[in-house]
């Protein structure tokens, strides 16, 4: 495709060189540039950006997009595009290069602080039960009919999204459920996508190191419903959100498209007439628009009932038959690392969950408390180089809602793990808990064990029949980032290994 076809008509761009050249591919990673590519330099650090430009040129890039180019790296063979928002131009170019695959594949966007991954898994299961080949784009990767094709960002860069949708279309996939992050929206990665449905699950504290305030964070997500969905080239785009939640109501009030609400109370378009939750899963009778059906699910707790209601709302709004909704919910085991049961000592329920923010941890502990364990033991930490303000909040939540708390490391990254733990302890102390020595089995207080494997071992060794352990923060992740090194570490594997040692 000619460069002019890819970038023409986009404001805020200045071209140095010819735009009549042929472009054979698109790249934003200089290590993956091939001869003839258009390269987008997106690094924030100036030195990194220059290094990436030089590598892209050395690998044969025909044109480069960069913000604030000063000509220092000019080479006669390359065309330069000085662009204020390289990612915005990337989204336009990617859509044009792959011929707008979101107009050929029905795309459902799922945004919110929590529940995105489980809801996309439920949707894919329902779509498949309805006989429609389905895909997922999100935290777990790019997944086509159950096969993981690529792992990376929750909302990938626009080139990866458009390429994935194009490949899925060619492979016969007809519907795709995609997690849409606030950062992905703010950076313009999804600006050129044509969504059929956009779903808002909920809002809690997250990404404040990026957005600054909760209102800015919400505004980024709201843009999906006020700017992007209304401009979809799909007929009858639909906005779906909780009708019994303040943030959800704001989404529904602002969306200028067809709107569908879901929630736990009557009055929403989709709600449970009755439901029960237990260790064997969820049973519910659901009223969905003009239909009523009974669902059974192996998923645990009220938080997953909300995910089921959300997926049901999307499905019914799309006209999917009730039998397919019921079957898709029944057969969906949930998302890896989301209240995922892992074999533990006899009579002890052990769950691994991705909860790494205050609202998510509170929802998980509330859900598990409602299941009636003898004792609820919580093992968790907080990530380094991220929002520090959430650390005491999570400490206070764990101190208030769990019977036993073991504070450990998550992904400390370049921060001192003990400094992170110290900020969590501030919240535990505010909740009235005092630190007790490792090995002290007296009730009350909390234990600090920075070594995550040792912390899990402490929990498993202390648990008795009827107790429940939740290991929170990392979920499906199979690594731990310490300093700048990424080391293999999977909470689920560790639980199984230690359980085997305790019960040879």
Given 299, 331, 363, the domain boundary residue is 331
For residues 98-108, average pLDDT = 98
Same domain, 14 and 79: yes
For residues 138-153, average pLDDT = 82
Same domain, 145 and 289: yes
Same domain, 186 and 220: yes
Q: Is the pLDDT of residue 273 over 80?
A: yes
Same domain, 201 and 131: yes
How does DSSP classify residue 113?
S
For residue 203, give its domain range: 98-331
Query: Which pLDDT score, from 0 to 100, does residue 411 have?
Result: 96
pLDDT, greater one: 195 or 210: 195
- Give percent of the chain above pLDDT 70: 98
For residues 121-142, average pLDDT = 96
What pTM was computed for the model? 0.93
For residues 87-110, average pLDDT = 97
- Give percent of the chain above pLDDT 90: 88
Same domain, 386 and 241: no
Output the domain CATH number for residue 248.
Answer: 3.40.1190.10
Output the domain CATH number for residue 31.
Answer: 3.40.1390.10
CA distance 318 to 197: 8
DSSP 387-409: -TTHHHHHHHHHHHH-SEEEE--
- Is there a domain that residue 424 lies in? yes
Same domain, 197 and 144: yes
- Tell me phi and psi for residue 402, to 5 degrees: -105, 155
- Is there a domain that residue 196 lies in? yes
Q: Domain count of the chain?
A: 3
- Is there a domain that residue 93 lies in? no
pLDDT band, residue 221 (cuts 50/70/90): very high
pLDDT, greater one: 16 or 427: 427
Given 331, 366, 401, the domain boundary residue is 331
The token duo for 37 is: 């590519």
- Is there a domain that residue 113 lies in? yes
Q: Is the pLDDT of residue 73 over 70?
A: no
- Tell me phi and psi for residue 424, to 5 degrees: -65, -40
Output the domain CATH number for residue 373.
Answer: 3.90.190.20
């Amino acid at each position: 495709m000619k460069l002019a076809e890819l970038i023409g008509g986009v404001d805020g761009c200045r071209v140095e060189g010819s735009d009549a050249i042929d472009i054979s591919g698109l790249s934003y990673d200089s290590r993956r540039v091939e001869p003839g590519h258009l390269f987008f330099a997106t690094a924030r650090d100036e030195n990194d950006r220059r290094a990436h430009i030089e590598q892209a040129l050395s690998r044969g890039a025909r044109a480069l997009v960069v913000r604030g180019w000063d000509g220092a790296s000019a080479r006669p063979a390359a065309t330069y595009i000085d662009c204020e928002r390289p990612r915005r131009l990337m989204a336009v170019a990617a859509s044009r290069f792959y011929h707008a695959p979101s107009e050929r594949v029905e795309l459902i966007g799922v945004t919110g602080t929590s529940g995105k991954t489980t809801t996309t898994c439920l949707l894919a299961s329902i779509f498949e039960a309805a006989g429609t080949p389905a895909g997922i784009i999100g935290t777990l990767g790019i997944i086509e009919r159950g096969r993981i094709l690529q792992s990376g960002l929750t909302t990938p860069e626009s080139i990866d999204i458009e390429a994935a949708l194009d490949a899925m279309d060619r492979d016969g996939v007809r519907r795709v459920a995609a997690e849409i992050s606030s950062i992905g929206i703010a950076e313009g990665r999804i600006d050129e996508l044509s969504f059929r449905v956009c779903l808002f699950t909920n809002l809690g504290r997250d990404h404040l190191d990026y957005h600054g305030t909760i209102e800015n964070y919400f505004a980024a997500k709201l843009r999906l419903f006020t700017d992007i969905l209304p401009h979809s080239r799909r007929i009858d785009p639909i906005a779906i959100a909780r009708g019994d939640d303040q943030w959800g109501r704001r989404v529904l009030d602002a969306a200028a498209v067809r709107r569908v609400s879901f929630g736990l109370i009557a009055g929403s378009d989709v709600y449970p007439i009755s439901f029960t939750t237990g260790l064997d899963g969820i049973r519910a009778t659901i009223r969905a628009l003009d239909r009523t059906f009974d669902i059974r699910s192996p998923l645990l707790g009220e938080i997953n009932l909300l995910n089921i209601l959300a997926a049901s709302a999307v499905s019914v709004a799309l006209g999917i038959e009730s039998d397919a909704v019921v079957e898709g919910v029944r057969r969906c085991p949930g998302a890896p690392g989301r209240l995922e049961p892992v074999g533990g000592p006899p009579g002890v329920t052990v769950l691994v969950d991705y909860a790494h923010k205050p609202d998510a941890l509170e929802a998980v502990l509330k859900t598990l408390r409602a299941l009636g364990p003898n004792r609820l033991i919580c093992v968790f930490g907080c990530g380094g180089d991220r929002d520090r303000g959430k650390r005491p909040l999570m400490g206070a939540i764990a101190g208030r809602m769990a019977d036993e708390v073991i504070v450990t490391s998550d992904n400390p990254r370049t921060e001192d793990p003990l400094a992170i733990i110290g900020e969590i302890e501030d919240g535990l102390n505010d909740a009235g808990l005092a630190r007790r020595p490792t090995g002290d089995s007296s009730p009350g207080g909390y234990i600090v064990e920075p070594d995550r494997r040792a912390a899990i071992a402490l929990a498993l060794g202390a648990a008795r029949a009827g107790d429940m352990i939740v290991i929170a923060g990392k979920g499906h992740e199979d690594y731990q980032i310490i300093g700048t090194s990424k080391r293999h570490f999977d909470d689920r594997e560790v639980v199984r290994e230690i359980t085997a040692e305790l019960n040879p």
